[in-house]
C-alpha cells in the first residue's frame, strides 16, 4: 500500500496512525504544511523506513507565513521530498495568489539549484499557473500533481510535460475526478489519501485506504485491481529515477 500524500501530523492521534501504518506495511509520504512542522514531523516519524517526510509550505497558508519560505530554502538541502507546495486560485485564497507565485517560484528555483527534488504539488484553481512555473524551472525535479482538478486541456498539457499524478478515494467522489483519473497515463499514477482532510462521509480517510480508488478505477476502465496495484508499485519503485 502506498500513500504518497498524507498529513500524518494533522490526524488527531498521529502516533496511533503510525503504529497502524507499521503493522500494515504501508508506505507513506508525510507532507507538511509549514517548514516549521518538518522537523517536528520527522521526530514523530523517527527511523521508520516506510515513512518519509516532505518539506512544505502550503499555498493556503502563504498569506500568513510568507516569510517562512526562507526557512524552507534553508532546510531544502536536507530534504529529498518537497510538499505540500504549489498554488491555490480558489476564491478563498485568490487574493494571495501573487505572494503564492513568488513563494512557489522561489522553491522551484532552490530545488533546481540542488539538482531537483520529488515534489507533491497543489494546483486547485491554478493549474495553468502551476504548469507555467514548472516549465520555467524544468530542473526543479519530479512534479507530482496531487488530487488534480484542472481542465482536460490542462491535464493534457501536464501529461505532455511529463508530470506525475497522485489519485485517491476522495477524487472518485465526483464525476470530474473520475473522468480526469481515467485520462491519466497509468505509468505515472500513484495513490494518495490527503488524509485527514479527505473524508469518506464523516470519517477521515486513512493511509491504508489509499488503494480503495484502484478498485473503482479498475471498474471504470475495465482493468483488474491487482494489475493496477502492481502498476502503482512499479511506478513507486521507478519514481526516484524519474528526473
Q: What is the pLDDT of residue 243?
A: 58
**Beta carbons of 205 and 169 less than 8 angstroms apart:** yes
Q: Give the three cell numbers for residue 220.
A: 471504470
State the Cα–Cα distance between residues 59 and 178, nearest whole angstrom: 25
* pLDDT, block means (10 residues), the chain with 243 residues: 97 97 97 96 96 98 97 98 98 97 98 98 98 98 98 98 98 97 97 96 96 94 94 92 68
Q: What is the pTM of this model?
A: 0.97
**Beta carbons of 16 and 40 less than 8 angstroms apart:** no
Residue 43 neighbours by CB distance under 10 Å? 9
Q: What is the pLDDT of residue 240?
A: 72
State the Cα–Cα distance between residues 1 and 203, nearest whole angstrom: 19
Q: Which residues contact 81 (CB under 8 A, 6 or more apart)?
A: 29, 52, 53, 54, 55, 117, 118, 119, 120
Q: What is the pLDDT of residue 32?
A: 98
Amino acid at each position: 500500500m502506498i500513500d504518497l500524500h498524507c498529513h500524518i501530523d494533522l490526524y488527531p492521534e498521529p502516533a496511533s496512525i503510525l503504529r497502524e501504518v507499521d503493522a500494515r506495511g504501508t508506505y507513506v509520504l508525510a507532507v507538511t504544511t509549514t517548514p516549521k512542522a518538518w522537523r517536528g514531523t520527522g521526530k514523530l516519524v523517527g527511523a521508520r523506513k516506510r515513512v518519509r517526510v516532505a518539506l512544505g509550505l502550503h499555498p493556503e497558508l502563504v498569506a500568513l507565513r510568507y516569510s517562512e519560505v526562507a526557512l524552507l530554502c534553508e532546510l531544502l538541502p536536507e530534504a529529498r521530498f518537497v510538499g505540500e507546495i504549489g498554488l491555490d486560485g480558489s476564491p478563498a485564497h485568490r487574493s494571495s495568489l501573487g505572494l503564492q507565485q513568488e513563494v512557489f517560484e522561489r522553491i522551484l528555483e532552490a530545488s533546481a539549484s540542488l539538482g531537483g527534488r520529488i515534489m507533491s504539488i497543489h494546483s486547485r484553481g491554478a493549474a495553468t499557473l502551476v504548469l507555467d512555473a514548472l516549465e520555467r524551472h524544468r530542473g526543479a525535479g519530479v512534479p507530482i500533481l496531487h488530487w488534480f482538478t484542472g481542465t482536460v486541456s490542462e491535464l493534457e498539457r501536464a501529461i505532455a510535460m511529463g508530470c506525475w499524478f497522485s489519485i485517491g478515494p476522495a477524487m472518485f467522489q465526483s464525476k470530474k475526478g473520475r473522468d480526469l483519473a481515467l485520462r491519466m497515463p497509468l505509468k505515472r499514477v500513484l495513490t494518495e489519501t490527503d488524509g485527514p482532510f479527505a473524508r469518506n462521509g464523516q470519517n477521515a480517510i486513512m493511509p491504508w485506504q489509499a488503494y480503495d480508488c484502484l478498485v473503482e478505477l479498475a471498474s471504470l476502465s475495465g482493468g483488474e485491481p491487482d494489475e493496477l496495484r502492481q502498476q502503482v508499485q512499479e511506478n513507486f519503485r521507478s519514481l526516484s529515477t524519474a528526473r
